[in-house]
A and B are shown apart, each in its own frame.
Chain A
Amino acid sequence: MSLFFLYPAFLVGLLAASLPIVIHLLNRRRLQRIQFPAVRFILLSQKRISRSYRLRHWLLLALRTLAVVFLVLLLANPIFQTGAGLFAGGGPVSLVVLLDNSLSMTWSGDGNGFKQAKEAARLLISALNDGDRAALLPTNIAGKEVIRLKSQKDVLSRELDAVEIADGTANLTATLEKAYELLNEPAGQKEIRLITDMGLTGWDRFSIAALKRVDPSIPVKLIRVGRKEQPLNASIEEIRLGSQGVGVNIPLQIEATLGNFGAQEVKDVLVQLSIDGQNKEQKLATVPPKGQVTVSFQTRVSQAGAHTGQVSLKKDGLAGNPVADFTLDAQDKLRVLVVDGDPQTALVQSESFFLSRALNPSGERDSSLFLPAVIVPDALNAAALDSYQVVILCNVAALPDGFVANLQNFVRQGGGLLIFSGDKIQPDSYNQKLAQVAPAELREKKTGPEASGEKIDKLDAAHPALQIFSDPILLESLKSSRVWGYTRASARGRPLISLANGDPLLLEQKVGAGKAILIATTADRDWTDLPLKTAYLPLLQSLTHYLAGGKRGQLDPGIAVDTAKEIALPPGLVGKSLRVAKPNKLDVEVPIAGEKDRAVATITDNDRAGIYRLSLPAGAAKESGAPQMYAVNRPFLESRLEEISEAELQAKLAPVRAEVIPIEALKEGGKRTDLAFPLLALLIVTLLAEGWLGQRF
């Protein structure tokens, strides 16, 4: 129930209501003096009429003041509104109906909120009269449709039928800006109605200052879709990988963090993990009020490549986002050829003992991403290098001539080579035969007592294989190790780790499509205590991964709806386009742009939750490293069902005036009454009364 004025500027005229009082006061000050003989009769008359006279006098003043007030109000043309009906009279209406179709509307109005919102919008459209125009503007504008004010109710109704709940947060800034843009043309009356659940998340992102166009004379009237009860409110906040990498048949730990935005405990909610549409595991979880809980799943994937996954919540009456999609990129086991140049009967004394344990700690076939095969140098000629991704030479004295060519070819074609030094190694032979692939020219061996070992000092932490040392524990472990024996090397490639005396310990060189790394000390503890340190295992696994092409099975939790996804592609694809299949079966072509030395496709059309599948342009190698799919999830903050208060809302929208109307008011058949005629009648009555009373004086 409220009162509006069609022409509020006229209300300034209310100041004129003081005129009768001012005139009265001026008259009192402007006295005429008359000398008169019969003053006693005047006094007598005054005594007789004193009370009624004063009453009439004030009544007359009140009537005159009222007449001015009524006249001003009449000019301002007040409209009395009950409910939320449209204007009656006052010229054609230009109306923009903003319909909140953000995800949170799913749970508004006790589950019926969006339906109610559409009914309210339909009511507003049906109330349009001839000459009125309206536009329907969902807050989550899916397409970039051209929206215009139109007068055809049937078209507007069809547009309304087509609006669905989106998966994202309401973009109120863009929507209101568009509304003001639409209303930037002459009209008798301009109206903006926002039918919304007043979800806090959407308003958190809103800023009136970000609007390019605002018209404070057009108020925003919000029709609030409320909820009677506070529902159970749990949602999935985060999906992450609990284990290292994702490999075929390797135990995989997936952790889901559940959040509860409500004030009630969510008991025994069923949490289900699916991989590739197959139900893998179910668990019951209890989420404390306003708290979180993490649920872990153990599973495996049996095939290499891209997989889709989903964690879902199931419980009756549960509000909040119940589904989170993710993608998995499972890697086959990395086959590693380890050449032990100093094999011993006692395995622990063998050159490769620590190395092979680092790559497969449990020694079981299906427990590690790495599948190391240890051979002695005599078997090198018979080794089929194509079966391996990485070759590791551990203190191998000299390489057979026939093997060297194979090895060089292997590296050029993308294989990885890791060379450990040692007492048996023959620098001249290496320098002569591996000059094209070895990262350094080997020189003299430098050994000393263990106590006089050099510390590791410098580290290129930005290198992809060494980024694990951003963990301070690992870094400290690495730097605590001593190196008392190493082969001095004059670098051809790039030194990645150096000793305290400045001599390089680890060098890298790219060869063709592959890479080679030299570690100037031993793989066992003959020249260094590094194999006994915590850092050894992650360092060796990381280096091996890197040499194998940097690919490592991963879990991608995806992005939120309406955020952009950037896909890095090989530089050769610049100028081509990437085809994206959306969850709603619509395909989108995304151009591939060049950015420095790489190609990038930026996908912005992520308005639907689900799995987006990518089709690379013809000719792009599958080994390009580009993902085949990614997940887009509903923003979990949309599950927060808190509403913005009216005061906060008015502060957010200032200087635009905001008014909140409950949706029930609209459904109750809101009515607007033009008060011009009653005011005119009142004015006439007041003037007649004034005239009649004035004559009585």
Chain B
Amino acid sequence: MADTQKNYFDPKVLAGIANLSLRARWVVEGLMSGVHKSRAKGFSVEFEEHREYSPGDEIRRIDWKALGKFDRYYIKEYEDETNLRAYLLLDASASMNYASDGITKFDYACTLTASLAYLILKQQDAAGVVTFSNRIESFVPPRAKRDYLTQILHALENRGPGGETNVGKILEDIAGQIKRRGLIVLVSDLLDEPAEILKGLRHFRFKGNDVIVFHLLDPAELSLPFDGNILFEDLEALNLRVITDPRAIRTTYQQVVNEFIADMRKQCHDNAIDYQMISTSTPLDQALASYLSWRG
């Protein structure tokens, strides 16, 4: 039984499960078994907005009046009162579409995001998702409804990685759109200018948000395990290419990457930002554990 549970968090196992919802549920249920449920429950229901009907919505929540008025199906949405609004920011740039063995960084990030969303929603907190590359690709505002996970997963599944990253600018844009304080969870490989990234993250902090950064890196990005003469082509900047023998630069490369991670960790720490570097070979429970440790 313990082995089965452990397998839930193995990225390679997860990569074999096509359904993101199923992945998220397995991860979270596996993680939460034995963990006490959160006491933070939403109360009082408050109308927030109408939205167009989409398959899966409960029929009973169709606003029949609006149907009569507009001849279209609208769903009345209510906002749960909750003590947490979580924005899950997912980097969907081309560089995330890399896998040295098994799962791509984007798949890992999606699973992590979905798991977090499921966990948050399960605890009756509000969760929303923003996917971005060098622009905001999709924006699903946070809701505390239990069936909101479907919409979040829909946003995640409908988006494949592509385009260049511009994390710093995007974070600024998103910070501008978020009116209420909450939790900002950034899942990204942070392959951008560190100063720009931190500048964007600081914007969230200025507005009183809590920020968690999940820095995703493929194991190959950490160790550069290649042999022979190789022409490396960048996944985002197509004109960025270099020929080298990885054996010759491996040690230095690892130093450079470690320095980058250390710098990011330090900068985040200095700005009261939770920073977690995660290799895509790391079981997902460790990533979620860091969230739970924050959540208390």
Chain A residues proximal to chain B, CB less than 8 Å: 27-28, 30-46, 48-49, 53, 56-57, 697
> Of all chain A residues, which has the CB nearest B233?
A35
Q: Among B143-151, B205-213, B248-256, which stretch is in contact with chain A?
A: B248-256
A643 to chain B, nearest CB (A): 61
Contact residues in B for A49 (Cβ distance below 8 Å): 248-249, 252
Residue of B nearest to A48 (CB): B252
Binds A, one of B46-54, B133-141, B237-245, B285-293: B237-245
CA distance A57 to B248 in the complex (A): 9
* Distance (whole angstroms) from the CB of B275 to the closest CB of chain A: 18
Assembled-state Cα–Cα distance A39/B224 (Å): 11
Interface centre among B189, B226, B241 (most CB of A within 10 A): B241
A37 touches B256 (CB 8 A): no
Q: Is B233 within 8 A of A39, CB to CB?
A: yes
Cross-chain pairs A/B with CB under 8 angstroms, 30 sampled: A27-B229, A31-B229, A32-B229, A32-B230, A33-B230, A33-B231, A34-B226, A34-B231, A35-B232, A35-B235, A36-B220, A36-B233, A37-B98, A37-B234, A38-B191, A38-B257, A39-B240, A40-B234, A40-B240, A41-B253, A41-B256, A41-B257, A42-B232, A45-B256, A49-B248, A49-B252, A53-B248, A56-B248, A57-B248, A697-B245
Give me 11 other A-B pairs in contact (C-beta within 8 A), A37-B191, A39-B242 excluded: A27-B229, A31-B229, A32-B231, A35-B98, A37-B234, A39-B232, A41-B256, A41-B257, A46-B244, A49-B248, A697-B247
Partner of B98, one of A28, A36, A46: A36
Residues of A within 8 A of B98 (CB): 35-37
Q: Tell me, yes or no, whether B260 is within 8 Å of chain A by CB.
A: yes
Instruction: Flag whether B16 is at the interface (Cβ < 8 A).
Output: no
- In the complex, which of the residues B231, B235, B253 contacts A37, with contact meaning CB atoms closer than 8 Å? B235
Whole-angstrom distance between the alpha carbons of A37 and B233 in the complex? Answer: 8
Instruction: Tell which of A28, A37, A43 touches B242, judged by Cβ atoms closer than 8 Å.
Output: A43
Max chain B C-beta neighbours (<10 A), residue from A36, A56, A697: A36
- The answer to the question of B228 belonging to the interface, with a C-beta cut-off of 8 Å to chain A, is yes
Chain B contacts to A: CB under 8 angstroms: 95-96, 98, 105, 189, 191, 218, 220-221, 224, 226, 228-237, 240-245, 247-249, 252-253, 255-257, 260
On chain B, the residues within 8 Å of A43 by CB distance are: 240, 242
Q: When A49-B249, A697-B247 are in contact, do A34 and B230 touch as well, CB less than 8 Å? A: yes
How far apart sit A49 and B226, CA to CA, in the bound complex (Å)?
Answer: 18
For B234, the closest partner residue in chain A by CB is: A39
A40 and B226 CA atoms in complex are apart in Å by 16
The residues of A that contact B260 with a CB separation of less than 8 Å are: 41
Contacts of A697 in B (CB 8 A): 245, 247-248
Q: Is the interface of A mostly helix, strand, loop or mixed?
A: helix
Query: Are A30 and B229 CB-contacts (below 8 A) given A45-B256, A53-B248?
Result: yes
Give chain A residues whose Cβ lies under 8 Å from the Cβ of B231: 31-34
C-alpha gap A412/B116 in the complex (Å): 157
Q: Which B residues are CB-close (under 8 A) to A32? A: 226, 228-231
* B242 contacts across to A, CB distance below 8 A: 39, 42-43, 46
Contact between chains at A36 and B248 (CB < 8 Å): no
The total of interchain contacts (Cβ-Cβ below 8 angstroms) comes to: 92
In the assembled complex, how far is the CB of residue A575 from the closest CB belonging to chain B, in whole angstroms?
94
Contacts of B236 in A (CB 8 A): 37
Residue of B nearest to A44 (CB): B256
In the complex, chain B residues whose CB is within 8 Å of the CB of A53: 248-249
- B189 and A34 contacting across the interface, CB-CB below 8 Å: no
Q: Which residues of A contact B255 (CB under 8 A)?
A: 45
Task: Return chain A residues, CB-CB under 8 Å to B224.
Answer: 42
Q: Which A residues are in CB contact (< 8 Å) with B249?
A: 42, 45-46, 49, 53
Residues of B within 8 A of A56 (CB): 248
Q: How far is the CB of A559 from chain B (nearest CB, A)?
A: 83
Contact A36 B235 (CB under 8 A): yes
Going nearest first, the 4 A-B pairs with the smallest beta carbon separation are A37-B95, A39-B234, A45-B253, A45-B252
Measured in the bound complex, the distance between the Cα atoms of B231 and A28 in whole Å is 10
Chain A nearest Cβ from B214, distance in angstroms:
16
CA distance A606 to B237 in the complex (A): 100
Q: Which residues of A contact B237 (CB under 8 A)?
A: 39
Contact at A39–B230, with CB atoms within 8 Å?
no
The reply to whether A37 and B226 contact each other, CB–CB distance below 8 Å, is no
Q: Which residue of A lies closest to B189 (CB)?
A: A37
CB < 8 Å neighbour of A33 from B233, B247, B252? B233
Chain B residues whose C-beta falls within 8 Å of the C-beta of A44 in the assembled complex? 256
Query: Given that A37-B189, A53-B249 are contacting pairs, would A42 and B244 also be in contact in the complex, using a CB cutoff of 8 Å?
Result: yes
Which single residue of chain A is at the shortest CB-CB distance from B260? A41
Min CB distance B108 to A, Å, is 13
Chain A: CB-nearest residue to B249: A45
CB distance from B139 to the nearest CB of A (A): 25
Residues of B near A48 (CB, < 8 A) are 252, 256
Chain A nearest CB: distance from B102 CB in Å?
16
- CB nearest neighbor in A for B218: A37
Please name all residues of chain A whose beta carbon is closer than 8 Å to the beta carbon of B189 when the two chains form the complex: 37
A31 to B231, CA, bound (A): 6
Assembled-state Cα–Cα distance A48/B243 (Å): 15
Residues of B within 8 Å of A37, CB to CB, are 95-96, 98, 105, 189, 191, 218, 221, 234-236
Chain B residues with CB below 8 A from A27, complex form: 228-229
In the bound complex, CA of A528 to CA of B269 (Å): 153
B99 to chain A, nearest CB (A): 10
| Complex Cα spacing A39 to B95, Å | 10
Minimum CB–CB distance from B265 to chain A (whole Å) comes to 16
Q: How far is A630 from B271 in the complex, measured between Cα atoms in Å?
A: 127
A residues within 8 A CB of B226? 32, 34
In the assembled complex, the CB of A59 is this many whole angstroms from the nearest CB of chain B, namely: 12
* Min distance, Cβ B157 to any Cβ of chain A, angstroms: 22
How far is it, in angstroms, between the C-alpha of A41 and the C-alpha of B263 when the chains are bound?
14
A27-B229, A44-B256 are known contacts. Are A39 and B241 too (CB-CB below 8 A)? yes
Q: Which residues of A contact B241 (CB under 8 A)?
A: 39
**From B222, which residue of chain A is reached at the shortest CB distance?**
A38
Shortest CB distance A394–B (Å): 121
Determine how close the nearest CB of chain B comes to the CB of A9; give it in whole angstroms. Answer: 37
Measured CB to CB, the closest approach of chain B to A47, in angstroms, equals 9
Interface pair A42/B253, CB less than 8 Å apart: yes
What's the least CB distance linking A697 to chain B, in Å? Answer: 4
Specify the chain B residue showing the minimal Cβ separation from A38.
Answer: B221
B96: nearest chain-A partner, CB-CB: A37
A33 to B238 CA separation, bound complex (whole angstroms) = 13
Which residues from chain A contact B105 at a C-beta distance below 8 Å?
37
Residues of A within 8 A of B248 (CB): 49, 53, 56-57, 697
Measured between alpha carbons, how far is A48 from B248 in the docked complex, in Å?
11
**Of all chain B residues, which has the CB nearest A28?**
B229
Q: Which residues of the partner chain A approach B244 to less than 8 Å between Cβ atoms?
A: 42, 46
Which residues of B lie under 8 Å from residue A41 when comparing CB positions? Answer: 221, 253, 256-257, 260
- Docked Cα-Cα span, A36 to B234, in Å, equals 5
**How far apart are the CA atoms of A369 and B229 in the complex, in Å?**
110
| Distance of A50 from chain B, by nearest CB (Å) | 9
Interchain CA distance A42-B252 in the complex, whole Å: 9
Residue of B nearest to A24 (CB): B229
Q: Give complex CA distance A28, B229 in Å.
A: 7
CB-CB under 8 A from A38, the residues of chain B are 95, 191, 221, 257
A33–B226 Cα distance when bound, in Å, is 11
Q: How far is the CA of A31 from the CA of B244 in the complex (A)?
A: 10
Which residues from chain A contact B95 at a C-beta distance below 8 Å?
37-38
Q: Cβ of B243 and Cβ of A31 under 8 Å apart?
A: yes
CA distance A57 to B244 in the complex (A): 12
Q: For B233, list chain A residues within 8 Å (CB).
A: 33-36, 39
A37 to chain B, nearest CB (A): 4
Closest beta carbon of chain B to A43's beta carbon, Å? 6
Q: How far is the CB of A490 from chain B (nearest CB, A)?
A: 118
* Docked pose: A697 CA to B227 CA in angstroms: 10
For residue B228, give the distance in angstroms from its CB to the closest CB of chain A.
Answer: 6
Chain A residues with CB under 8 A of B191? 37-38, 40
Chain B residues positioned under 8 Å from A42 (CB to CB): 224, 232, 242, 244, 249, 253
A163 to chain B, nearest CB (A): 70
Q: Smallest CB-CB separation from A56: which chain B residue?
A: B248
